[in-house]
Amino acid sequence: MSTTPASTLAILNQPSRHAPASLDGAAPLRLVDPDAVHIGVRDLGITRGDGIFETIGAVSGTPQALEAHLRRFARSAAALDLPEPDLDTWRAAITAVADSLAGHREAAIKTIYTRGIEGDGRPTGWVHGFASSDFAAARRDGLRVVTLDRGYRHDVASISPWLLQGAKTLSYAVNSAALREAQRRGADDVIFVSSDGVVLEGPTSTVLLLRDGRLVTPGPGLAILDGTTQDSLFAFAAQHGIPTALELTTTEHLHSADAVWLVSSVRHAAPVTAVDGTPRASEADLTAQFNRYLAGRRD
Amino acid sequence: MSTTPASTLAILNQPSRHAPASLDGAAPLRLVDPDAVHIGVRDLGITRGDGIFETIGAVSGTPQALEAHLRRFARSAAALDLPEPDLDTWRAAITAVADSLAGHREAAIKTIYTRGIEGDGRPTGWVHGFASSDFAAARRDGLRVVTLDRGYRHDVASISPWLLQGAKTLSYAVNSAALREAQRRGADDVIFVSSDGVVLEGPTSTVLLLRDGRLVTPGPGLAILDGTTQDSLFAFAAQHGIPTALELTTTEHLHSADAVWLVSSVRHAAPVTAVDGTPRASEADLTAQFNRYLAGRRD
């Protein structure tokens, strides 16, 4: 009789073909105890938040939007001048971890890739999967959000690439601090706004709006992540004849839109029910269709 | 016969009295192998860069500016809503680690404090000391710096505390990216400038200028760290009758000042010899006095 573990951890021996392996002659993947210690105190991932990650949803053992996540992972690595990740090895690790968790209806799979021990030249990489929290309430009843100033102009990514906006880095302390600020204000989540008043993204999600019959996400040219879940929902919209657009968006649009969602790989589509304390309408039927579509993805 | 190790690692069992210990009944400090693995992959210090640090210089076993570093450590913890660090325990760990490295003329001691394993409530803390690199050349011959836009307005700390400017967090990927950008431009280090043109700080240092006979550091009210080494050099200046000031500083001042330094706890005072490719003068005698004073501190 096989049982499904609560979590699975695979350590990659050589996360990039352009850098030496961690251990000579070791297997490409080692499945190890997720609750044991595995990281040295000199790893730049912890001393400097110097690395990248992805969080991938898996349904009954199948990772979702896997190739979109891998492409974004490679773009983040390039933004940080990390050795190019060997996507075949990462894909194999993600698939193995997801497969081990097939007994869970929903799982989250994190890929983490750091610059490794300072001065050593060998990056660190692992894939950690675990049964998801239950997001049924957020998907159905929605989230109260506050808008918080991200401090950067909306176009800072093109001007100052060293600020790493648009890369999914391990330096997420600001994202965590923003979520604590939301809790202090009695809200559930955050929508970041640029210093010049342009809606950006959530700390761990992409913003979607229904405006005049179009499905809209903030863009183009913003200092934000490409949303893999937003991309899936644009495919859903195309199938259903709903026009889609990237448009510069203001906080006023967050109030006037017909619906607003925060969408992400594991929580999927959560309707926004209040912005800065002001209630706003949502579209229960469309939200349910979004979430059925997202849960049903098989690649 | 005792030998001095190259590095020493002390893990704190209970970094805060306001949070549970890591291991029931364990010793307050455990001296462990610095090169072994010690951190779990779910530690928020690595998954989110969600923690703080200090880097303290030690000379022949004596930590320098220890109380100033501990005060700043506590301020950073408060900015991140971490449980208040037990400074007595941290001080004991720093002193023990420094003492073990007394055979090295100069050592660097890092204190790292993370939120710990997600959802667990027990923070992670350690003190890692190691023999310093040789900074004689930087102290004597100086650094070529480039100015880079930090993307934030100079006063963002007072407006948007969730951006954590002024806290010394583990989310330093931008600092590392800025140093790589400096290397690409043929320079050694960076001075960050606010989006509205105000000189801020280096990625791992404080800016000092000699202007009209005064020793000046950028301020007040900026979104930067309080500099412990700058504070020591202001004490030196007071002893020698040199007036000191916090003044709003522009990149033009970096060219027109009589001298500019980047000062930090381990590298001490490094004169800036070029700004954005334009050579600038330095004050060799005063630099040498600064570095003798900094090396001679015994508390």
Q: pLDDT for B30-56, tens place per residue?
A: 999 999 999 999 999 999 999 999 999
Q: Mean pLDDT score of chain A, rounded to an integer?
A: 97
Q: How far apart are CA A164 and CA A183, in angstroms?
A: 26
Residues A162, B171: C-beta atoms closer than 8 Å: no
Would you state the pLDDT for residue B174? 98
Of B36, B41, B165, Cβ closest to residue A126: B41
Of B39, B112, B150, Cβ closest to residue A37: B39
Using a CB-CB cut-off of 8 Å, the residues of chain B touching A150 are 163
Confidence at B3, pLDDT banded by 50, 70, 90: confident
Q: Which amino acid is at A215?
A: L
Residues A169, B42: C-beta atoms closer than 8 Å: no
Residue in chain A closest to B34 (alpha carbons) equals A41
**Residues A138-164, mean pLDDT to the nearest whole number:** 96
The token duo for B297 is: 């501190």
Q: To probe the interface with A, which of B48, B162, B163, B266 has the most A CB atoms within 10 Å?
A: B162
Contacts of A48 (CB under 8 A, 6+ apart): A115, A171, B49, B170, B172, B173, B175, B176
Residues B173, A177: C-beta atoms closer than 8 Å: no
Q: Mean pLDDT score of chain B, rounded to an integer?
A: 97
The token duo for A12 is: 């990659």
Q: Has residue B213 got a pLDDT over 60?
A: yes
Using a CB-CB cut-off of 8 Å, the residues of chain A touching B53 are 47
Determine the distance in angstroms separating the CA of B47 from the nearest CA of chain A, rounded to an integer: 6
Residues A36, B40: C-beta atoms closer than 8 Å: yes
Q: Has residue B97 got a pLDDT over 50?
A: yes
Residues B47, A53: C-beta atoms closer than 8 Å: yes
Q: How far apart are CA B86 and CA A118, in angstroms?
A: 28
Determine the distance in angstroms separating the CA of B192 from the nearest CA of chain A, rounded to an integer: 11
Residue in chain B closest to A169 (alpha carbons) equals B173
Q: Are A69 and A99 in contact (CB under 8 A)?
A: no
Radius of gyration (C-alpha) of chain B in whole angstroms: 19
H-assigned helices in chain B: 44-47, 66-79, 87-100, 136-141, 156-159, 173-184, 228-239, 251-256, 284-296
Of B35, B165, B177, Cβ closest to residue A80: B177
A7-131 fold: D-amino Acid Aminotransferase; Chain A, domain 1 (3.30.470)
Determine the distance in angstroms separating the CA of A28 from the nearest CA of chain B, rounded to an integer: 18
Can you give the length of chain A in residues?
A: 299
Using a CB-CB cut-off of 8 Å, the residues of chain B touching A162 are 148, 174, 177-178, 180-181
What percentage of chain B has pLDDT greater than the value 90? 96
Would you state the pLDDT for residue B2? 62
Would you state the pLDDT for residue A298? 87
Residue range B127-186, pLDDT digits in tens: 999 999 999 999 999 999 999 999 999 999 988 999 999 999 999 999 999 999 999 999
CATH for the stretch B136-296:
3.20.10.10
Of A41, A110, A115, Cβ closest to residue B9: A41
Cα dihedral sign for B256, B257, B261, B263? Answer: negative
Q: Has residue B1 got a pLDDT over 90?
A: no
- Residue extents of the structural domains in chain A: 7-131, 136-296
Determine the distance in angstroms separating the CA of B283 from the nearest CA of chain A, rounded to an integer: 31
Residue range A232-290, pLDDT digits in tens: 999 999 999 999 999 999 999 999 999 999 999 999 999 999 999 999 999 999 999 99
Determine the distance in angstroms separating the CA of B297 from the nearest CA of chain A, rounded to an integer: 26
Determine the distance in angstroms separating the CA of A284 from the nearest CA of chain B, rounded to an integer: 31
- Could you tell me which of A176, A151, A128, A150 has the C-alpha nearest to residue A29? A128
Of B39, B49, B160, Cβ closest to residue A173: B49
- Could you tell me which of B104, B95, B118 has the C-alpha nearest to residue B48? B118
Kindly provide the residue ranges of all beta strands, DSSP E only, lying in chain A, ordered along the sequence: 7-12, 29-32, 51-59, 62-63, 106-114, 124-131, 143-149, 189-193, 206-211, 214-218, 244-247, 259-264, 268-275, 278-279
Would you state the pLDDT for residue A8? 98
Q: To probe the interface with B, which of A54, A127, A176 has the most B CB atoms within 10 Å?
A: A176
Q: Are B123 and B16 in contact (CB under 8 A)?
A: yes
Residue range A164-202, pLDDT digits in tens: 999 999 999 999 999 999 999 999 999 999 999 999 999
Using a CB-CB cut-off of 8 Å, the residues of chain A touching B169 are 49, 171, 173
Q: How far apart are CA A15 and CA A38, in angstroms?
A: 16
Q: Are A261 and A273 in contact (CB under 8 A)?
A: no
Residues B39, A35: C-beta atoms closer than 8 Å: no
Bridge-based pairing state of the strands A29-32 and A7-12 = antiparallel
SS3 (DSSP) at A204: coil
- DSSP class of residue B139? H
Q: How far apart are CA A253 and CA B229, in angstroms?
A: 48
Residues A151, B153: C-beta atoms closer than 8 Å: yes
The answer to whether the bond into A28 is cis (omega within 30° of 0) is: no
CB neighbour class for A279 (10 Å; exposed up to 12, middle 13-18, buried from 19): exposed
More confident residue, B2 or A259: A259
Residue range B182-211, pLDDT digits in tens: 999 999 999 999 999 999 999 999 999 999
